[in-house]
Amino acid sequence: MAKSWLHALRAYRYPVCLKDFQKALRYPSYFNQSIPGDRDSTIRFEDHFRKNAEKIEPWFEVVFWKLYSQRRIAQKKTEDIIQQLSLPPKVDPAYLLGTAEKFLTSESREDFETFRQLFRFRSKVIAVVATFPAFLCPERFPMVDTRVAKWVNQHYQVFNDANPDAPQLIPSIYGNNNSATVLTMNDFAFYLRWIHWTRYMAEKLSLATGKSWRPRDVEMAVFTAWGDRGNRHPVIPLNPIFEMSNLIETDDIEYDLFDNATVSGR
């Protein structure tokens, strides 16, 4: 049952060239990485952010990284967010970090909204903001995006039925409402349940595979499993993880779980 998850995580690939940011030269020593996008190189980028999170430039890098696959808007959206963070009163990166860490502790809607408002978005979008908890604490927080939302909307009932003891997934408003084109604060309950469910699945998959899974890894697998636009979804069917009778032996795996991979863009 866990082999489908292993396959999806192994296939994760989100390559990003930060040098492609058109204003990169304004930020010496930053926007100079080319990230192959497999799990290991993505973890190195997460580590880079955490080590430098008291400076503002790594926050800008993560915004561009998150938006990179949206080629038509990535440049302008990143520039807009940088501009908003730089307008008076200028947002201090230490304050950004402290506000994010408050949400990491409380997991409350109020603290997430306080953090979100620091980015001065004109709408109540959440996906870019939710990237930062996942980078700051991938052992406890996954990312979330519309691809994840589509997967959950299609599979939540099957997984809830298979694991009634798990935090029960709930569908996203996105995808069930034709007018919703992005994830917003209206989906905060969906996001919070997704966080708790990925923690549960990370524990299950760690037991099933003998490898240490993080909520971020669960999310990477789901992201990859859904597939790119134009594919028949999901491209990799993920199976529920049942009790001990269905756990696999790691000797049955013909590849290293965290080898470099193939597939997709964020």
Give CA–CA dist 192/33, Å, rounded: 32
Signed CA dihedral, 54, 90, 59, 111: sign only: positive
| Mean pLDDT (the chain, rounded) | 92
Over residues 186-197, the pLDDT tens digits come to 999 999 999 999
pLDDT the model gives residue 175? 79
pLDDT the model gives residue 178? 63
Q: Does residue 244 have a pLDDT over 60? A: no
Over residues 153-169, the pLDDT tens digits come to 999 999 999 999 999 99
Over residues 64-75, the pLDDT tens digits come to 999 999 988 999
When comparing pLDDT for 259 and 37, which is higher? 37
Helical segments of 107-145, H only: 109-117, 127-136
| pLDDT level of residue 171 (50, 70, 90 thresholds) | very high
Half-sphere exposure of 12 (CA within 13 A, CB side): 26
Q: Does residue 213 have a pLDDT over 70? A: yes
Over residues 115-135, the pLDDT tens digits come to 999 999 999 999 999 999 999
Least reliable range by pLDDT among 42-51, 87-96, 171-180: 171-180
The stretch 217-243 carries a mean pLDDT of: 94
Over residues 89-117, the pLDDT tens digits come to 999 999 999 999 999 999 999 999 999 99
Give residue 6's identity as a one-letter amino acid code: L
Q: How far is CA 109 from the centre of its chain?
A: 18
pLDDT the model gives residue 179? 74
Cβ atoms of 265 and 69 closer than 8 Å: yes
Over residues 51-65, the pLDDT tens digits come to 999 999 999 999 999
Q: Does residue 261 have a pLDDT over 60? A: no
pLDDT the model gives residue 243? 59
Give CA–CA dist 140/196, Å, rounded: 9
In this structure, the number of other CB atoms found within 10 A of the CB of residue 174 comes to 23
| pLDDT level of residue 1 (50, 70, 90 thresholds) | confident
| pLDDT level of residue 177 (50, 70, 90 thresholds) | low
